[in-house]
């Protein structure tokens, strides 16, 4: 993606990412259940939607992060379905899926930084390089986070609320640890993304439960909150060298 279409790393970015994680978790279940597509049939449509977003982004010269956030929601939705397919439909042990995804994510981040982002490694100002490697990492992080959230809810028998109460403080601790620009470090950035995805899965599943809003209403409410935050909370103007994270 062009640098003019990337958001600045700051409170607005992380807040939006947290709500996007909840919204994406609900959308994944909405695609699979309410639309009757299951965990696999909806993936080609999501891949097509992502391709359309990437193509449209190339021809837009205006400065805004619209395409980035659209891609985040699409990738998060796909990650939710893929995680449910692996541990649900395929009956693969969730713990082994989590270990495999963690290894793949670490490898993808390392390879992407080494081969695609190495030219930026020597610069004081790092730019969010939302290229193929970045979105692969985002998909893996989303899938891993979904599995962690489900593991806490189901395998540890905490329930969705219990898992949310466990995982949300962890996200808060990572934000505290990431102060003074430490979130620019790749391991901390991606670890925080995974934690946000895990907490978002538990929160999203809790809100979508019958005791709360239900899946359709929860998807609508979290979607409105996500869009509303981006519209109301304006991003401060930044220069091309504004510090972002790959």
Q: Is 84 part of any domain?
A: yes
Provide the pLDDT confidence category of residue 72 given band limits of 50, 70 and 90.
Answer: very high
With 60 as the cut, is the pLDDT of residue 71 above it?
yes
User: What was the pLDDT predicted at 101?
Assistant: 96
Quick check: helix, strand or coil at residue 132?
helix
- Domain extent, residue 61, equals 10-117+126-232
Q: Is 239 part of any domain?
A: no
- Percent of the chain predicted with pLDDT > 70: 89
Give the number of domains in the chain. 1
Q: Is 85 part of any domain?
A: yes
Torsion of CA 223, 3, 133, 235, to 10 degrees: -30
Q: Is 99 part of any domain?
A: yes
Digit-coded pLDDT (tens) for 90-142:
889 999 999 999 999 999 988 877 655 444 444 333 536 788 889 999 999 99
User: What was the pLDDT predicted at 182?
Assistant: 81
Q: Is 137 part of any domain?
A: yes
User: What was the pLDDT predicted at 237?
Assistant: 58
Q: Is 42 part of any domain?
A: yes
User: What was the pLDDT predicted at 82?
Assistant: 94
Report pTM: 0.90
Digit-coded pLDDT (tens) for 148-167:
999 999 999 999 999 999 99
Q: Is 51 part of any domain?
A: yes
With 70 as the cut, is the pLDDT of residue 76 above it?
yes
User: What was the pLDDT predicted at 114?
Assistant: 67
**Of all helices (H) and strands (E), which one includes residue 204?**
helix 186-207
More confident residue, 158 or 41: 158
User: What was the pLDDT predicted at 215?
Assistant: 94
CA atoms of 25 and 43, how far apart (whole Å) = 14
Q: Is 134 part of any domain?
A: yes
User: What was the pLDDT predicted at 166?
Assistant: 96
User: What was the pLDDT predicted at 179?
Assistant: 85
Q: Pick from 110, 124, 35, 17: which is nearest to 71 by CA?
A: 17
Digit-coded pLDDT (tens) for 161-192:
999 999 999 999 999 998 877 887 888 899 99
Give the dihedral sign, CA 240/235/197/43.
negative
């Amino acid at each position: 993606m062009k640098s003019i279409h990337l958001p600045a790393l700051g409170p607005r970015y992380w807040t939006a990412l947290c709500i996007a994680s909840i919204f994406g978790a609900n959308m994944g279940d909405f695609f699979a259940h309410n639309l009757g597509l299951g965990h696999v049939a909806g993936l080609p449509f999501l891949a097509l939607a992502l391709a359309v977003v990437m193509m449209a982004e190339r021809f837009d010269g205006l400065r805004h992060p619209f395409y980035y956030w659209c891609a985040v929601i699409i990738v998060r939705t796909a990650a939710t379905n893929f995680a449910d397919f692996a541990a649900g439909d395929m009956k693969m042990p969730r713990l082994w899926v989590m270990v495999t995804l963690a290894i793949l994510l670490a490898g993808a981040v390392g390879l992407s930084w080494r081969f695609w982002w190495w030219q930026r490694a020597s610069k004081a100002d790092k730019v969010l390089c939302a290229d193929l490697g970045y979105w692969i990492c985002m998909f893996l992080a989303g899938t891993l986070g979904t599995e962690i959230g489900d593991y806490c809810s189901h395998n540890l028998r905490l329930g969705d609320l219990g898992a949310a109460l466990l995982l949300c403080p962890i996200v808060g601790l990572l934000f505290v640890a990431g102060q003074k620009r430490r979130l620019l470090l790749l391991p901390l950035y991606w670890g925080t993304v995974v934690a946000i995805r895990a907490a978002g899965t538990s929160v999203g599943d809790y809100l979508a439960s019958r005791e709360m809003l239900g899946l359709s209403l929860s998807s609508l409410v979290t979607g409105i909150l996500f869009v509303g935050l981006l519209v109301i909370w304006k991003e401060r103007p930044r220069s091309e060298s504004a510090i972002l994270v790959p």
